[in-house]
Structure 1
Amino acid sequence: MSSSDSAALRPIPEFDGVHQIWPRGKRLEAIRDAASTYRERFLNQGQVRAVKSVDIAAAPYPARFAFQGYSVNVNPFISIINRMFVIQFDGFDGTLKTLVWEPTVAAGSAEAPFYDKLQRFARRLGLESAFVDYYNDPDQVLPRLGLTNADVDYISFDHLHVQDLRMILGSSEPIDGESAPRQPLFPNAKLLVHRKELGTFDAMHPMQWAWYVEDGMRGVPEDRLEVFDGDVELGVGVSLLWTPGHTDGNHSLVVNTPDGVWVSSENGMAADSWQPELSRIPGVRRTAAFYGREVVLNANTLEDSLDQYDSMVKEKTLASPSPRNPQWRQVIPSSECANRKRQWPVVPTYSHGGLDYGTITVPARPTTVPGTAPEPG
């Protein structure tokens, strides 16, 4: 399904054709201009009803990837904290919608070749628990907010690295080692996924292999997928922007709140990534200035580093200045470099923390009398 085939999604015309402009310097400026133009229209459309973020888990990550090799590292590994967001907004059909962004299941992430090999190595050294911390299970977050998992309309990830979608969307066949097919965590939710990201599973390139879960989409029902192209709006105050580079089908969450626009992305690992000129991480500011670069990439997979650079400029152009500290733009990493003493000096110069706006609303649910069918409509 393309974005134009879905009544739920609207394409964003401001970005039409900008990713095809040549030469590359002109493409970057066209993307920046389009993001600035769209930002004004997006701000005037209205705000989401509520946004809540929850930390899911912390996992090890090579420090040399986190800031494109610019940082001076004492410890070869840092910890990154995976966040899940619950967003409620008015759909274009006038009904309340609930989106869960980044509901990572840690057991699925461990199946990705990179983490599988890392865990085996750590197990041999007796260090398996040194890096990994578990905070919350995605399927237990909604009840604490007054919702059920059946209330979720959409789920999405900025890309599908380290995701076993069978554990989230359910499967028609058992996962290896299990006796029965998985049931979905969110029984009524569809996965919003960019067509290029989904297509990666059809033919994996060796440069992509280490970070994707093999067979992570096998047996996932096709009717659980809402596939889109390019940049799309989901409803009032919430959009998914195509931000290719880290992966071909990478996309970023954009929400409008009482504090302005927030962008969530894994293109960078900390606020420093989008504003290296403010960074106090040794090496980051100086190296970025030496090369004349205004962003610093999360560089574990460079499917296209120029595209990723352009995408980060797109993100920071959309994001509003923070009311708490106006020199920082409101870009919040979906996986953020943790602030831990053991990984000093690679600690964020500034962290926005979590997001907490509005009040989560329990959607109207059909009432039933035992032995009868639900009322139509």
Structure 2
Amino acid sequence: MTTEANGRRPVDQSTELVRPIPEFDGVHDIWPRGKRLEAVRDAATRYRERFLAQGQVKAIKSFDIAAAPYPARFAFQGYSVNINPMITIINRMFVIQFEGFDGKLKTLVWEPTVAAGSAEAPFYHSLQEFSQKLKAEKLFVKYYNDPDTVLPRLGLRNEDVDYISFDHLHVQDVRMIMGSDEVIEGETEPREPLFPNAKLLVHRRELGTFESMHPMQWAWYVDGGMNGVPQDRLEIFDGDVELGVGVSLLWTPGHTDGNHSLVVNTPDGVWVSSENGMAADSWQPELSKIPGVKQQASFYGREVVLNGNTLEDSLDQYDSMVKEKTMASRSPRDSRWLQIIPSSECAPWKRQWPVVPTHSHGGLDYGTIVVPERASR
């Protein structure tokens, strides 16, 4: 595969699994940085118009997976006034059905986090040991659903999934989801995949992080989390890509090098799912009632507030959040708020007051999930 002049390797379209989005070509290379931000905003405006015209997804359902502790100082870039040092974030999983470029029904599972794998990321491993010493584990973690049990409740088999993806691979042990040819430490045989026929859609730069981890990245990635994952289970892409009618993955670097965000078109317009922010407040701080968030954003003249646990590139993350909010539609339930739903959202629990989201969209529930055979008939 050749390399383009802008340094990006083009996506191999021979399988028609994904298609590149030309509106964003070269925008991340523009200099100086102020001009790059406006180029990102302009490209998102142009792409949004074309994206809306292409059609809607067939169905999308969201499910809470687990609630986990998170340092309050990270959640809103240090802007919030915190009484408690820790808040709780709730991880979400989405099941999306859409028409692929081959005209066939496709099923994508977005963010199927396996909590046991996440616990092995250095940050959470250390936190778990601390909570065990205090005998307070139940205060830190709550489990709602296991990813492999969700689809049967929708009438699907796990074998029906075509793709899975994560916005990035922080705290993900990919072996526990995609399977591995190697034996995970403490186990007796190689792991079988949760979704046997699915490919992992992963950005090339996110995958590259596992090849050589920087100290600023180390605490959030599971050591060896990609070891033994079969290469043919991966669909590696660059930049921004479309998966089919009404669903795209937009490259949103900054939080991590290969971060990408889910964008879907629904009867209520465009929704974006991302972990660049921790609540609706993150993309619209001017509406926030969390003490400090609105005031600090206004003082610095900033229109978004970052999820700041890594800050691999805060300027890129800022641009990416502008890209997301430019794509999103306004909610028909409350037109003040854009339809951006965090993949890990700050919980609205009183015990973490005053760091409580000003607004939460709740889950997504559009259309009817069907088995592929029924759809073809």
TM-score between both structures, scaled by the size of structure 1: 0.96
Question: Which digits, 9 at most, give the CA deviation of each residue in 1:279-308, with x for residues without a partner?
Answer: 000000000000000000000000000000
Q: Equivalent residue of 2:156, what SS? A: coil
Q: Report 1:76-91 matches (<5 A).
A: 76-91=85-100
Residue pairs, 1:36-75, within 5 angstroms:
36-75=45-84
Equivalent-residue separation in structure 2 for 1:301 and 1:265 (angstroms): 15
- The alignment-based identity, stated in percent, is 81
User: Are the counterparts in 2 of residues 112 and 214 from structure 1 also a CA contact under 8 Å?
Assistant: yes
Q: Does 1:292 align with 2:340?
A: no
Deviation at 1:243?
0.0
Taking the aligned partners of 1:215 and 1:17, their CA distance within structure 2 comes to 33
In the aligned structure 2, how far is the partner of 1:126 from the partner of 1:150? 39
SS in 2 for 1:88: strand
Query: Paired residue for 1:223?
Result: 232
User: Quick one: distance in 1 between partners of 2:184 and 2:301?
Assistant: 48
The secondary structure found in structure 1 opposite 2:373 is coil
The whole-number CA distance in structure 1 between the counterparts of 2:11 and 2:40 is: 20
The within-5 A match list for 1:334-345 is 334-345=343-354
Alpha carbons 2:200, 2:235 under 8 Å: kept: yes
Partner of 2:12: 4
1:93 aligns with 102
**Any idea what the Cα deviations from partners look like across 1:119-171, whole Å, max 9, x if unmatched?**
00111111111120000000000000000000000000000000000000001
- Any stretches of 5+ residues in structure 1 without a counterpart? 366-377
Structure 1 counterpart of 2:152, one-letter code: P
How many residue pairs were aligned? Answer: 365
Distance 1:143 1:119 in 2: 31
Report the counterpart of residue 333 of structure 1 in structure 2: 342
| SS at 1:239 equivalent | strand
Q: 2:270–2:339: 8 Å Cα contact kept in structure 1?
A: yes
Shift of residue 4, structure 1, vs aligned partner = 3.1
One-letter code of the match for 2:159? A
Q: Which structure 2 residues correspond to residues 311-322 of structure 1 after superposition, within 5 A?
A: 311-322=320-331
Letter in structure 2 aligned against 1:109: S
Decide whether the 8 Å contact of 1:4 with 1:11 is kept in 2.
Answer: no
- Of the candidates 23, 26, 33, which is equivalent to residue 24 of structure 1? 33
Name 1:165's counterpart in structure 2. 174
RMSD between superposed Cα atoms in Å: 0.8
> Are the equivalent residues in 1 in contact too, given 2:95–2:109 (CA < 8 A)?
yes
Aligned equivalents of 2:324 and 2:339: distance in 1? Answer: 9
Aligned residue for 2:319, secondary structure, equals helix
Stretches of structure 2 that go unaligned for 5 or more consecutive residues are 2-9
Q: Distance in 1 between matches of 2:182 and 2:41?
A: 45
Residue 235 of structure 1: how far off its partner (Å) = 0.1
- CA separation in 2, counterparts of 1:354 and 1:10? 28
What is the 5 A alignment of 1:178-257?
178-257=187-266
The answer (yes or no) to whether the contact 1:316–1:331 under 8 Å persists in 2 is yes
C-alpha distance in 1 between matches for 2:130 and 2:364: 35
1:316-375 deviation line (CA, Å, top 9, x unaligned)? 00000000000100000000000001100000000000000000011118xxxxxxxxxx
| Structure 1 contact 47–257 (Cα < 8 Å) conserved | yes
Query: 2-side partners of 1:16 and 1:327: how far apart?
Result: 31
State the match for 1:354 in structure 2. 363
> CA separation in 2, counterparts of 1:46 and 1:12?
16
Matched, 1:259 2:272: no
Runs of 4+ residues deviating >6 angstroms: none
| Structural mapping, 1:104-143, within 5 Å | 104-143=113-152
CA distance in 2, matches of 1:128, 1:58: 12
Equivalent residues of 1:92, 1:236 under 8 A apart: yes
Give me the whole-angstrom Cα distance separating, in 2, the residues matched to 1:160 and 1:258: 30
Contact 1:269/1:335 (<8 A) preserved: yes
Which of 283, 289, 296 is equivalent to 1:274?
283
Range 323-332 or range 4-13, more displaced: 4-13
CA–CA distance in 1 between the matches of 2:188 and 2:140? 31
Q: How far, CA to CA, are the matches of 1:350 and 1:7 in structure 2? A: 39
Question: Using the alignment, how far apart are the partners of 1:284 and 1:107 within structure 2?
Answer: 33
Output the CA distance in 2 between the equivalents of 1:232 and 1:352: 26
